[in-house]
Amino acid sequence: MRQLLCLLVATVTALPALAEQKGPLVVVLDPGHGGPPPHDGAHGARGRHEKAIALQVAQKTRQMLEQQGATVILTRDSDEHVPLADRVRIANEAGADVFVSIHCNAMETREDRKVTRGVETYFLSPDPTDAEAKMLAQLENGGPEAVPLPKANDAVTGILNDLALGQARNDSAALAQIVQQHMVRGTTSPSRGVRQAPFLVLSGTRMPSVLVEIGFISHPREGRLLVGDKYQAKVARALASGVTDFAERVLARRLIAQAKPPASAEPPRVQAASPVASPSGTR
Ligand SMILES: [Zn+2]
């Protein structure tokens, strides 16, 4: 009983130490696109540009996350072209806990532009949810000609099979759910759901990663809202609270789970060091 108590005390006192070791939450925000065509992303009416809105929202989100004590890195902080591979490298080298790529959606036809609006959050999967998700991934990846969709047995499949990345992949689905909930609640824009697609920018990151389509710049009302400071702040608040909610609910749970092994790992360590474990051992 006393042993159990000691173990409990050891486990509980180990928690703050672990939390300290971990340091502040590191978030990499990735404003989609940037720079001259063909890297400038989608366009809406009246000079509404996806790349500009994505950057403004990322900067506002950074400010809100920093106020909560997080360390935030942007993959770009100006209107410049940053290749997808560099965005991935920035996130991995930063040892980020969470990666969020920020984009705006747009419809092609006049009819669709009038009626389609809403928020959707993606996590990486080699199998797109549907034809629409597949097409969107092609666009965000740089067009169907520029970057072919991943085929079986290629790099993406390899990454998905990598056990070390398995947890990050599972957590990406949870991150997508949580961010989507916060986005819909915070903006009151319709939910288009959590979806899966083979986005290249999500394929190499070694941490829970999502791509958020924060709204349609092609929609008359949503497009107007998206360029405004007030709505952008709403979106940023939703993204920031989604990330911190995920950190508390999913990453903190992992932190507690990590605290358990020292207690159960104790006996094997004693065994290995003690000659009693060996049949021919002498005192
Ligand atoms: Zn985009």
Tens digit of each residue's pLDDT (9 = 90 or more) over 147-172: 444 444 455 445 444 544 667 777 89
Does the pLDDT at position 220 exceed 90?
yes
What is the DSSP code (8-state) at residue 148?
Answer: P
Tally the C-alpha atoms within 13 A of residue 97's C-alpha that lie toward its C-beta: 20
Compute the Cα dihedral for 136, 61, 119, 26 and give only its sign.
Answer: positive
- Is 6 a domain residue? no
- Residue-wise pLDDT for 28-58, tens only, equals 999 999 999 988 888 888 889 999 999 999 9
Domain membership of residue 81 (yes or no) is: yes
Beta bridge pairs of residue 28: 73, 99
Q: Determine the pLDDT at residue 23.
A: 83
Question: What integer pLDDT is reported at residue 267 of this predicted model?
Answer: 45
Q: Residue 205 C-alpha to ligand 1 middle, in angstroms?
A: 18
Instruction: Provide the residue range defining the domain that includes 49.
Output: 23-277
DSSP 44-95: -STT-BHHHHHHHHHHHHHHHHHHTT-EEEES-SSS----HHHHHHHHHHTT
Residue 18 within a domain:
no
Whole-angstrom distance, CA of residue 200 vs CA of residue 167: 19
Per cent of the chain over pLDDT 70 is: 73
- How many angstroms separate the alpha carbon of residue 70 from the centre of ligand 1? 25
Residue 268: pLDDT over 60: no
For 219, residues 6+ apart whose C-beta sits below 8 A from its C-beta are 44, 107, 113, 114, 115, 116, 117
The distance in angstroms from the start CA to the end CA of the chain is 28
CA distance 83 to 102: 15
Distance 215 CA to ligand 1 centre (A): 11
Structural domain count of the chain: 1
CATH code at 131? 3.40.630.40
Residue 13 lies in a domain: no
Q: How far is the CA of 108 from the centre of ligand 1 (A)?
A: 14
CA 238 to centroid of chain Cα atoms: 14
Instruction: Note whether residue 17 is domain-resident.
Output: no
Whether residue 29 is contained in a domain is answered as yes
Q: Which of 188, 179, 190, 19 is nearest to 102 (CA)?
A: 179
> Looking at the domain assignment, is residue 283 inside a domain?
no
Mean pLDDT across the chain: 80
Neighbours of ion ligand 1 (CB under 5 A): 32, 41, 103, 140
DSSP 150: P
Specify the pTM.
Answer: 0.77
Q: Per the domain annotation, does 93 fall within a domain? A: yes
Higher pLDDT, 215 or 84: 215
